[in-house]
Each structure stands twice: as C-alpha cells, then as structure tokens.
C-alpha cells in the first residue's frame, strides 16, 4: 500500500482532521491550523479572506494604518493678544551692514503699525 505525501499536515487515525492548502505557499496542512490574514485599511483591520499557515502569516503593517488626528482645541473667547509690532523696530540697513540715514544724519526706521488706528 502506498501513501501520498502529506506536506505539513498531521495524520491521526483516531482523531482525523481535514486537510487544506495554504493560499500563500501552497503546502498541504490541517484546516484547523490555517488562519485568516488581516491588513490595516483605514482605521481598522480588514480580513483579506486568505487562509494561510503559521509560517506565512504576516503581522499587519502599521504604515497602512490611517492617522486619527485629535479635534482642534476650543478657541479662547475674547482673546487679548500682545501688540508685538509696537515693541519691534526694524532698522533699514544696506548689504554692508551700514544703517540707512537721511541727509541730516538721522537713521531711517520702518513705520510701526499703530494698533489704535
């Protein structure tokens, strides 16, 4: 009597189990040892409907996972921002680093924005 090869499947005459083929590698194994392959799609895992053996089973790739951003914070009611334009003064300079001056010798400055107007 000849026996056919069983691949990775285990044969037990007292407790028979069904045979199945791995969808990825094609080896013959027991059906109860096959697992479904999952993959990230959007914000959750999706079953790819591929039954694979333990050696072919891949960990779901985190790079395929969508980022879930938190909501924006609640805006402040009636904010009081600092008037930074009053505090800052830009001196006009040339490429050599010398300040621009008028004919009378006064330095030229940029006009600061008046927040009250």
Give tens-digit pLDDT for 35-75.
999 999 988 999 999 999 999 999 999 999 998 899 999 99
Name residue 109's beta-bridge partners.
Answer: 91
What percentage of the chain exceeds 70 in pLDDT? 74
Q: Which long-range contacts (CB under 8 A, 24 or more apart) does 12-20 make?
A: 20/51
> What is the pLDDT confidence band of residue 102, given thresholds at 50, 70 and 90?
confident
Predicted pLDDT at 89? 56
Which residue, chain included where needed, has tokens 């090869």?
5
Domain ranges of the chain: 19-64, 83-117
**Does residue 91 register a pLDDT over 90?**
no
CA 92 to chain centre: 45
Average pLDDT (1-14) is 75
- Look up residue 72 and give its two tokens: 């924006």
């Amino acid at each position: 009597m000849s026996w056919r090869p069983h691949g990775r499947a285990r044969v037990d005459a007292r407790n028979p189990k069904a045979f199945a083929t791995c969808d990825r590698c094609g080896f013959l194994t027991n059906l109860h040892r096959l697992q479904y392959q999952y993959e990230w799609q959007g914000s959750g895992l999706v079953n790819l409907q591929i039954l694979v053996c333990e050696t072919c089973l891949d960990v779901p790739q985190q790079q395929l996972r969508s980022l879930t951003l938190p909501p924006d914070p609640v805006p402040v009611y009636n904010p009081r921002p600092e008037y930074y334009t009053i505090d800052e003064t830009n001196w006009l300079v040339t490429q050599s680093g010398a300040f621009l001056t008028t004919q009378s010798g006064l330095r030229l400055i940029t006009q600061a924005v008046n927040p009250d107007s």
